[in-house]
Amino acid sequence: MGQKQQHPNADPLPEPKKKRRVGFSNIDAGVEPNDCIKIYLVSKKEEVGTSDGYRISPVDLNSFFEEDEKIYGYQGLKITIWISSISFHAYADITFQSTSDGGKGITDLKSALEKIFGETLLENKDDFLQTFSTENNFISSVVSNEEKLQTKASNGHTTHFNGSSEAAFSDLEVVRLMMSNLAAGHLYSRLVPLVLLLVDGSNPIDVIDPSWELYLLTRKKTDQPANTQHILLGFAALYRFYRYPDGSRLRLSQILVLPPYQHKGYGSYLVEVLSNVAISENVYDLTVEEPQEYFQHVRTSFDVKRLLAFEPAQSAVKSAVLHLKQGKLSKKTQVPRFLPSADVVDEVRKTLKINKKQFLQCWEILIYLGLDPIEKHMEDYVTIICNRVKDDILGKDSETAGKEVIEVPSVHDEETSFVMFRLQNSKAGGIQMDEDQTKTQEQQLQQLVDERIKEVKLIAQKVSHKHV
Ligand SMILES: CC(=O)SCCNC(=O)CCNC(=O)[C@H](O)C(C)(C)COP(=O)(O)OP(=O)(O)OC[C@H]1O[C@@H](n2cnc3c(N)ncnc32)[C@H](O)[C@@H]1OP(=O)(O)O
C-alpha cells in the first residue's frame, strides 16, 4: 500500500492513532468511503496506475470504517485500489492534500483497508507489480491437478445453459477443492476481499473446517498452448452436512462471478454444475443460504427450466391448472392453494435435489406458465399469490391479529425460517390496530404481491422465450 501526498506543503503522514480534541468551531464532516475510494480489478501490470482495469462497485465500503462509517481528517483524499485478477493481491494508492484533526481525529486508513484486504494488501507498489509475473500461474497451480467436474449429471438430467450455446462454454472447467486441502484454504484467503466487497452480507468461511468445499470456475487461456493458464471467472463455497444414516446435504453459502464476467451465463453455468454434482452424488438436497435477490432470480430461472422438462412436476401443474380454470376464485370465500402434493414435492427433491421451499417458489411460475392464455386468468392468479403472501406473513390462521412474524436463520432449514410470536399485551390474543395501521399493512401486502408478480412474469418470459 502506498501513501503519498500531492501537495508540496502538505502535512506529514498522520499518526495512525486517532487523536481527539475538543473545542473546534467547524467540526470535520468527514467523507464517505464510497465517495473517495475507487477499486479496479486488473489482469496486467500495465493497467495499474491507469483506469484501464475493470472498476468494481462494492456493495458497501462505508461499513468497514468504524467512526460513523466515515473517513475523517483528510483534505482532497483519493484512494485507488488495484486488485490483481491473477494473484488476488491488492495495492492501494492514497493521495490527499493535507490532514488535520477537525475534532473527529484522523482515520487510520491502513488498518481500515487491512480489515478488507488483510494480507493480500501489499505495501510496496513494485512488489505488487512483480506478482503479475511471479504469480502468473497461481490459479493454474491450484486447479491443474484437481478433479474436473462433469457439466452433465450421470443420470442424464441436464438442461441447456442460460441462453448461450454450449460451444461458448467448451473451454471452461470447474474443479472442486476440499477445504482439507491446504491449497484451497490458501486460495480462499486471497478471495476473501472480493467476498467482503461483492457478496452482500457475507462472512468469510472457516477454512479450518473440512466440511467446506470450494468450486472454482476457470477458463483455459488458449493463446499460450505451451503454458496453459487458467483465469478465474467465479467460485462457490458449499458446506456438506452429514445426514443420518449415511447421506449428506449440500448448502451453497457463497457464490461470486467476478464482475467483468457477470451476465454472460457463467453464474447459471456454475449453478448447473453444482446441481449436477448434487444429483450425481445423490445428496439429499442442495439448498442456498440466504440467497440474494438477484442470485435467487438466476437460480429460479435455472430450476424452472429443469422443472419444465420434469414430467411428474408437469403433470402436477397440469392438474392444478385444470382445477384452477374451473371458476372465479375471487368470488369464492375459501380459495384453495393449488399446491403440489407431498409425493411430487418428494420426487422433485429426490430427482432434481430441489428442496420444498424452492420448489414452491418455482411452482408459482409453473402455474403462471400453465395458465394459457394468462390474461384470462390473471385475476385468479393474483388472488392465489396474494393469499400465499398473506399466509407467509401472517400465518395460515386468518385470526392472526397480534401475531408477529420475524425472519431468523435456522440450522434446521438451511434457507431462512420464520418464527411467529404473539404479542403479550394483546387483547384477546390480538392487538387492536387502528385504521391507519390496517391501511399500511394492506399497502405493504399489495407491494409484496406486485413485486412477486413482476418477478414471476420476468422469469416466465425468460424461460418461455428460451423454450420456443
Ligand atoms: C448464497 C449467495 O452467495 S447469494 C449472493 C450471490 N452473489 C452475489 O450477489 C455476488 C455478485 N453477483 C454475482 O456474482 C453474479 O451476478 C451472480 C452469481 C449472482 C449471477 O452470476 P451471473 O454470471 O451474472 O449470472 P448469469 O450470467 O448466468 O445470468 C445473469 C443474466 O445474464 C443473462 N445472460 C446470460 N448469458 C448472457 C450472454 N451471453 N449475454 C448477455 N446476457 C447473458 C442471463 O440470461 C441473465 O439474465 P436476466 O438477469 O435477464 O435473467
Question: pLDDT for 304-324, tens place per residue?
Answer: 999 999 999 999 999 999 988
CB 250, CB 238: distance < 8 Å: yes
User: Is the distance from the beta carbon of residue 3 to the nearest atom of ligand 1 less than 6 Å?
Assistant: no
Complex ipTM value: 0.96
**C-alpha cell, 452:** 412477486
Q: Which residue out of 269, 289, 295 has the highest number of ligand 1 atoms within 8 Å of its CB and is therefore the one to mutate?
A: 295
Rounded to an integer, what is the distance from CA 190 to the centroid of its chain?
19
Q: What is the DSSP string of 15-41?
A: PSSPP-----SS----B-HHHHEEEEE
pLDDT, tens digit, 9 for 90 and up, residues 50-106 = 999 999 999 999 999 986 899 999 999 999 999 999 999 999 999 999 999 988 899
Phi, psi of 63 (to 5 degrees): -65, -15
The mean pLDDT value of the chain amounts to 85
pLDDT, tens digit, 9 for 90 and up, residues 10-43 = 444 455 555 555 555 578 889 999 999 999 999 9
Closest ligand 1 atom to Cα of 257: 14
> Locate cell 488495484: which residue?
82
CA atoms in the 13 A half-sphere facing the CB of 207 = 14
Q: How far apart are CA 21 and CA 26, in angstroms?
A: 12
Q: What is the per-residue pLDDT for 344?
A: 98
Q: How far apart are CA 391 and CA 410, in angstroms?
A: 20
Longest dimension (CA), the chain: 82
Q: Is the pLDDT assigned to residue 400 strictly greater than 60?
A: no
Beta-carbon neighbour count of residue 26 at 10 Å? 7
Closest by CA position to 271, among listed 245, 301, 292 = 301
Q: How far apart are CA 291 and CA 299, in angstroms?
A: 9
Q: Which residue out of 215, 257, 457 has the highest number of ligand 1 atoms within 8 Å of its CB and is therefore the one to mutate?
A: 257
CB 289, CB 316: distance < 8 Å: no
* Per-residue CA distances from 379 to 21, 72, 375, 382 (Å): 65, 55, 8, 5
pLDDT, tens digit, 9 for 90 and up, residues 239-259 = 999 999 999 999 999 999 999
pTM of the model: 0.85
User: Is the distance from the beta carbon of residue 24 to the nearest atom of ligand 1 less than 6 Å?
Assistant: no
